[in-house]
Amino acid sequence: MTPIRARQPNAYAASPLDRAANRRDDAGFIAATLASPESLFVPLWRGQNLLRAGRAALLAGRAADPCRGAEVTAFLGLWEGRAVFAVEFGDPDPDAAPPALAAGAEFADLRTAVGSLPAAEAAILAHARALMHWRTRHRFCPICGGACAPASAGHVLVCTRCQAQHFPRTDPAVIMLVARGDQALLGHAPRFPAEMYSTLAGFVEPGESLEEAVAREVFEETGVRVGAVHYHSSQPWPFPASIMLGFHAEALTEEIVLDHDELADARWFSRADLRDHKMLGFRLPRGDSIARRLIEDWLVSG
């Protein structure tokens, strides 16, 4: 099997930021940039990003004043010399309404707007969402249960009781297009939209290489054995906290034996089937997903 090159960057993977990790512990720099009218703020509310007319609503100047006093804040980096901060406004009250921060802007799921967002904005919003998800869900130490306090400009949480340091979590997952000649193996999971078929995927387990994870997941879900495994590309997927590691894999067997706990169906599709999927009555994964990129790049390779 010849490796298939990624033809373009994946969605959320074109960040323009200099993460400037060396400035995170510079208290003077962080304080000055938080107060600066030139700094940009990326607001979130319960994991939703602030959007306006299909674009990122990044706040600066006086419009950003509500962000400067927020409890959950993190320095993301520098964009063309301007500091960028993420701010989470989530309220524990389930009946609380989102704050009104900018005229014409509203909080929404990032995935609803990624098709209209410039690549740089999509990457920044995804970065902010991933970091704020970790911050809001790791308020207590997993070792002793003590409350955690932010450090290093929001990139470290320190237990106020045992002083243990905790760092942002990203869960690695493999996602793979399995092919045999002119046929590709796609599955339909019960949670998928009706008639949608996608590449197989699963989380990497402790002590497991990425190639082993690919082979294990494919066999567990479909009973198909794979041989050669080739890396394609990766994609940040902050829904809520994954990094998707994309591969193409060569199938050694064809018979499908479903794990019905994972998949409702799995089938072999020809290139012609995939090109005519709308006419044939099934759907492919959403356009911002690495799953769709793996399929599209395989299609043009043959």
Exposure of 100 in the CB half-sphere (CA atoms within 13 A): 2
Mean pLDDT of all residues in 214-219 = 98
- pLDDT tens digits, residue range 240-256? 999 999 999 999 999 99
Largest CA distance in the chain: 63
C-alpha dihedral sign at 191, 192, 197, 203: negative
Closest Cα to residue 227, out of 199, 247, 249, 203?
Answer: 249
C-alpha dihedral sign at 149, 151, 157, 158: negative
Ramachandran assignment for 90, one of left (phi > 0), alpha (psi -120 to 50 degrees), beta (any other) = beta
SS3 95: coil
Q: What is the pLDDT of residue 69?
A: 87
Mean pLDDT of all residues in 116-129 = 96
Mean pLDDT of all residues in 174-188 = 98
Residue 283 scores a pLDDT above 80? yes
pTM (predicted TM-score): 0.93
pLDDT tier, 94 (very low <50, low <70, confident <90, very high otherwise): confident
Distance CA 240, CA 143 (A): 23
Distance CA 139, CA 149 (A): 8
pLDDT tier, 2 (very low <50, low <70, confident <90, very high otherwise): confident
| H or E segment to which residue 295 belongs | helix 290-301
- Let me know: does 265 contact 256? Beta carbons within 8 Å: no
Exposure of 165 in the CB half-sphere (CA atoms within 13 A): 6
Contacts of 156 (CB under 8 A, 6+ apart): 150, 165, 166, 167
- Residue 196's DSSP bridge partners are 283
